[in-house]
Amino acid sequence: MASGKSTSTKKNARAADMASAADPYLANLQKFDHLVILMMENRSFDQMLGYLSLEAGRTDVDGLRGGEQNAYRVNGTGPVTTVPSRHATSTALGKNQDPCHDGVCVDQQVASGNTGFVQNYSDRLPKDPDPGLVMDYFNAGDLPVYDFLAREFSVADSWFSSVLGSTWPNRLYLTSGMAAGSRDNKTSLQYRNKSWVRYLDANGISWKGYGDGFNGHSSIRYTDQNYRSSDNFEPFSGSLTGFGFVRDCETGNLPAVSLIDPAFFKNDDHPPADIANGQTFVARAYNALARSPAWDRTLLVLLYDEHGGFFDHVTPGPAADDDPDFRHYGVRVPAFFIGPYVPRGQCFHSTWDHTSLIKTILQRFCAKDGTIPDMGARVAAASHVGEVLSGTVARAATPFSTPTVKAIAKMHTALALSEFATDKVVHEPSDEEVAFIKAARGLHARNAARTVSKSVTKPRSAGMAVK
């Protein structure tokens, strides 16, 4: 028996050595016990982080260099107008300034080497006198929180959205590794995909879906019919004696996997929202983690679902997929890696998409004998993010610098004042927002009906009901 155990141990060791040789970053996944994913909305890499190479001297980042431009003709006729990449004059967009980002629009935008962004905006919103707004970028002054995180931790300049299309097909790739047959949002946000939380539950691994909006968490709820309601859905922030992400950070009781939804159409950066709202929200999330007893064993990945119709200069390439209609990455989006083992001020260039997070979850928490559950060809081909955990010793969380805190406070004050402005413009809800509200109300009604149904038990005997 002793000899048998020794042989088995040696075989396991050899298998581990072979796995390590085939995947040199796999062992790095053991450096975290808590994976936190925060997905924002509808901004491209060049719009949010392109300034790093253009203004911040980051030669390691494939961002803006100057000279990027798009041309367009009004109504497709008349003289050609060329619009260069330019610094945005405001952190908010005007009423109804929401670039198209459905499948057909994105095809036009990335055509001929990503030269169709302005033309598409002009075609879809012909009454807007400034179609060049899709070429706007923000910089360190507009994004004090992101500038801090890019300096103190790491970014990726080859993280692509998963679909050349809209929000929910991309969020479906994050939660289930595939879309639902369309690159556009459904009018009724009730999908029936199988999410990775099924495998976490099957393996007894903890998870939570946090949400900051009126509907709470939505990404998993709308993806998977088995999770339309769940005790694992909690608010982003709760009372000091309550629950939620901030409270879980305070107590160090984070689950193995956390997926955070911002307040959609409020602080998610979805146009025409003021990105200052997004900056303050991300600051709250980072600050909660930085102060948490769980910091030393946590990795936060902050990213965007899709580009929202805004310019990016890198043409997305082909991707593996079971569905031939989805064998292509979407447009590049910003991505940050934040944690105690993440190097300071580095840019990673590996190709990732949203399914890389599924691969990371499955490899870290659901692998058995070197294999992971089958969630489709895109997940199978994806690279996990172990590469970013290159540190050998956990480093303490860096508190926000005084200038960053002052910038956040200034943004917060300006946003508070705008709430009480007498000339505040209220925009009409977009089709996306209407669909989201409709789905939220429908779920609330159904869940309420189920609660009432469950509260009524079967009668003990004929004619005698339990009250």
What is the average per-residue pLDDT within 388-395?
Answer: 97
Q: What is the DSSP letter of 459?
A: P
- What span, in angstroms and rounded, lies between the C-alpha atoms of 121 and 157? 25
- CA 45/CA 155 separation, integer angstroms: 10
Per-residue pLDDT for 458 more than 50? no
Backbone angles phi, psi at 37, to 5 degrees: -115, 125
Q: pLDDT class for 467, splitting at 50, 70, 90? A: very low
Classify the C-alpha dihedral 304-305-308-314 as positive or negative: positive
Question: How many Å apart are CA 50 and CA 155, to the nearest integer?
Answer: 12
The DSSP string of 439-453 is HHHHHHHHHHHHHHH
Q: Which amino acid is at 325?
A: D
Q: State the average pLDDT over residues 427-436.
A: 72
Which of 96, 77, 62 has the alpha carbon at shortest distance from 431?
96
What local confidence, expressed as pLDDT, does residue 444 receive? 60
Once rounded to an integer, what is the mean pLDDT over residues 259-275?
Answer: 94
Query: Which pLDDT score is estimated for 451?
Result: 52
pLDDT tens digits along 160-214: 999 999 999 999 999 999 999 999 999 888 899 999 999 999 999 999 999 997 7
The answer, yes or no, to whether residue 453 has pLDDT greater than 80, is no
pLDDT band at residue 445 using 50, 70 and 90 as cut-offs: low
The mean per-residue pLDDT over the stretch 392-417 comes to 91
pLDDT score for 3 = 42
> Does the CA dihedral 84-278-339-219 come out positive or negative?
negative
- With 0-12 CB in 10 A as exposed, 13-18 as middle and 19+ as buried, what is 398? middle
Indicate if the pLDDT at residue 218 is higher than 70.
yes
Whole-angstrom distance, CA of residue 136 vs CA of residue 89: 8
- pLDDT tens digits along 71-83: 999 988 889 999 9
For tokens 């890389």, name the residue.
356
Torsion of CA 124, 139, 333, 310, to 10 degrees: 10
What pLDDT sits at residue 417?
Answer: 84
Calpha distance 162→377 (Å, rounded): 13
Distance CA 219, CA 223 (A): 6
Strands 233-235 and 207-211 turn out to be: parallel
The total number of residues shown for the chain amounts to: 467
Cα 397 → chain centroid: 22
Which residue bears the tokens 């009250």? 467
- The gap between the terminal CA atoms of the chain, to the nearest Å, is 62
CATH superfamily of 34-458: Alkaline Phosphatase, subunit A (3.40.720.10)
At 265 the pLDDT is 87
Q: Which residue has the tokens 């590049």?
A: 332
Q: What is the pLDDT of residue 9?
A: 44
Query: What are the phi and psi torsion angles at 235 (to 5°)?
Result: -70, 165
Least confident of 165-169, 280-284, 342-346, 458-462: 458-462
In one-letter notation, the amino acid at residue 73 is R
- What are the CA-CA distances from residue 146 to residues 151, 281, 296 (Å)? 9, 12, 21
Q: How far apart are CA 147 and CA 408, in angstroms?
A: 12
**Cα-flanking dihedrals φ and ψ of residue 443, to 5°?**
-65, -40
Does the bond joining 131 to the residue before it have cis omega, within 30 degrees of 0?
no
- pLDDT tens across 25-36, in order? 999 999 999 999
What integer pLDDT is reported at residue 85 of this predicted model?
98
Is the per-residue pLDDT at 390 higher than 90?
A: yes
Query: 48: pLDDT confidence band, cut at 50, 70 and 90?
Result: very high
DSSP 3-state of 353: coil
pLDDT of 416 reads 83
User: Quick one: pLDDT at residue 2?
Assistant: 43
The answer to whether 363 and 203 have CB atoms below 8 angstroms apart is no
Among 105, 78, 255, which residue's Cα sits nearest to residue 166? 105
Count of beta carbons in the 10 Å neighbourhood of residue 395: 15
